[in-house]
Amino acid sequence: MRSYYTPDQVREAERPLLESLPAGVLMRRAAHGLATVVAAELHHRTGGVFGREVCVLVGSGDNGGDGLWAGALLRRRGAAVTAVLLNPERAHPDGLAAFRRAGGRVVASPGAPDVVIDAIVGISGQGALRPDAAALVAAIRAPIVAADIPSGVDPVTGAVVGAAVRAQVTVAFGARKPAHVLAVPYCGRVELVDIGLSIEAPFFESLSPFDVGSVWPMPTAEDDKYSQGVVGVLAGSDRYPGAALLCTGAAVAATSGMVRYVGSAATEVVRRYPEVVAARDLDAAGRVQAWVIGPGFGTGEESRARLMDVLGSDLPVVVDADALTILASSPDSVRERTAPTLLTPHAGEFERLTGSAPGPDRVQSVRTLASEWGVAVLLKGRATVIADRDGRVLVSDAGGSAASTAGSGDVLSGLLGALVASGLDLLTATACGTRVHSLAAATAAYGSGGELAAPISAGPLLAAVPEAIRIVRSGAV
């Protein structure tokens, strides 16, 4: 489990250390970690540190001081280190003195360094880069290592409202901040440096592949098909029979339990997945432990009636796609439920449900909807945000955009329904399904060298689900 903390939480944790340790110790700890990561990057990219060129972009305050101290350490290891002071009058005095003593040079422009350190703005920064800093950053062609947060990225929301640094690596001082998972395209790889902080309750968390693999439902000697979870799937229509196949197929791939399908695509579903028990109406469906409803479902009166019947049960329900559109005009049908309910909107569906787009603070937007409606909410995106009715949040970065294809959401909802039926709690089931879904997309789309091999559709994504499950399970067995 990875934990993420707000700047306020980090500053509160720093306070007792600043009061008890000699002046500058925390900054030098951070600088040492930053210099170590930069040195590793130089080794990886150029084969060494000695004689390599490093430029530090220095803003005012402690973040600039971190960069200057790191520059001094790199200079002592033989690198040629320069610094561009964006606000010379407010440069950190002790850091600048140490930088100059080590032989670092203050210059007007970066030149052509091997690596750039972004120490312009730290975790107190908000808003876009100022024009002079933006112009400087735009001209850089070298890889950038960001000190704590890429400048121009909001540390709490991960929002970017203008010019910002795109780092290849971000060095997190003491704790990961929300932006480190909410804004991965700007943060790049995140390296955590321990500076001695002790923080208790995180702002939110994310599951690692090991976490997912360790709880993924696997049959035991005592299990049968019913005890492993029976999920009912209401998906597809005459117009969109493919949604039924994708959603049902994902439910089949997710666990070793049982899948029941209800809908007009029963013949096609059974032809593709003969292990599925199919029916054309709810009365003939049989017993299930959870429902997933909505992909390709339609929004007509028959669909509405089926949705209300399912929501009127005391079973967990995953509500997706067309069912969300119906729900937007009947929110009380979930607000009054006591059984677990999961809504899985993308940004447009979120706006239909609430009347407004998620906004830059996606975590708060999702928390608010989950709390006000008494449900769990999964807001899709590169960084998927999941919140339950009690305010707990898990965030999952997809690692890329391979899953951005038609039908991908149908696969996800099938995975989620099966995991909920297996007995996992709603938040854990949702985070696990999301993680495996994005891993399956990456497995299907990327070659062994890590480069995008080819764009994919939902079919290859679904086919890669078993391999994705094996991958997460391999670290947990």
Residues contributing to the annotated binding site for (6S)-NADPHX: 62-66, 122-128, 148, 243, 296, 346, 410
Question: Which residues have C-beta within 8 Å of that of residue 321, sequence separation ≥ 6?
Answer: 243, 294, 295, 296, 297, 349, 409, 410, 413
pLDDT on residue 400: 87
| C-alpha to C-alpha distance for 235 and 220, rounded to whole angstroms | 30
Of 201, 230, 253, the last residue of a domain is 201
Q: Which element (helix H / strand E) includes 93?
A: helix 93-101
Residues facing 259 on adjacent strands: 231
Cα separation, 185 vs 456, whole angstroms: 21
The alpha carbon dihedral of 268, 271, 276, 278 has a sign of positive
The β-bridge relationship of strands 376-379 and 383-387 is antiparallel
Residue 327: φ, ψ to 5°: -65, -30
Residues 123 and 193 in one domain: yes
Q: Could you tell me the residue range of the domain that residue 283 belongs to? A: 209-474
Same domain, 196 and 227: no
356 Cβ contact partners less than 8 Å away, ≥ 6 residues apart: none
Three-state DSSP class for residue 471: helix
Across-strand partners of 394? 205, 386
- The CATH number given to whatever domain includes residue 333 is 3.40.1190.20
Kindly state whether residues 182 and 217 are assigned to the same domain.
no
Q: For each successive 10 residues of the chain (477 residues), what is the average pLDDT?
A: 97 95 95 98 96 97 96 98 96 97 97 97 92 96 98 97 97 98 97 95 96 94 86 95 98 95 96 95 93 96 96 97 96 95 97 95 98 97 96 94 93 98 96 97 78 82 96 81
Residues whose CB falls within 8 Å of the CB of residue 414, separated by 6 or more in sequence, listed in order: 233, 235, 246, 247, 248, 249, 250, 251, 252, 253, 254, 292, 295
Q: What is the pLDDT of residue 475?
A: 80
**φ/ψ (deg, to 5) at 253:** -75, -25
Provide the 8-state DSSP code for 360: S
Strand 258-262 versus strand 105-107 pairing type: unpaired
Same domain, residue pair 415 and 444: yes
Q: Based on the domain organization, do 407 and 449 belong to the same domain?
A: yes
Q: What is the pLDDT of residues 62-107, one digit of tens each?
A: 999 999 999 999 999 999 999 999 999 999 999 999 999 999 999 9
* Diameter over CA atoms, the chain: 81
314 with 374, same domain: the answer is yes
> Do 371 and 412 lie in a common domain?
yes
Residue pair 370/377 in contact by the 8 Å Cβ criterion: yes
Domain boundary among 173, 201, 229: 201
105-107 and 53-58 beta bridge pairing: unpaired
| Single-letter amino acid code for the residue at 133 | A
- Of the CA atoms within 13 Å of residue 230, those in its CB half-sphere come to 16
> Which residue positions form the known binding site for K(+)?
63, 118, 151
> Which DSSP letter does residue 345 get?
-
CB neighbours (10 Å) of residue 474?
Answer: 11
Residue ranges of the annotated binding site are 62-66, 118, 122-128, 148, 151, 243, 296, 346, 380-384, 409-410
- Last-in-domain residue among 148, 166, 201: 201
In the chain, the number of structural domains is: 2
pLDDT for the residue 449: 56
Chain centroid to CA 277: 35
What are the tens digits of pLDDT across the range 151-186? 999 999 999 999 999 999 999 999 999 999 999 999
- The per-residue pLDDT for 476 is 61
pLDDT reported for residue 133:
96
Q: What's the pTM?
A: 0.94
- Give the Cα separation of 5 and 396 in Å (integer): 15
Residue 47, judged by CB atoms within 10 A of its CB (0-12, 13-18, 19+), counts as exposed
Q: Kindly give the pairing relationship between strand 204-206 and strand 277-279.
A: unpaired
Q: Is the same domain home to 158 and 41?
A: yes
- CB contact at 8 A, 29 and 196: yes
Shared domain check, 89 and 22: yes
- Both 181 and 63 in one domain: the answer is yes
Specify the CATH number for the domain of residue 58.
Answer: 3.40.50.10260
Q: Are residues 239 and 186 in the same domain?
A: no
Q: Do 244 and 170 belong to one domain? A: no
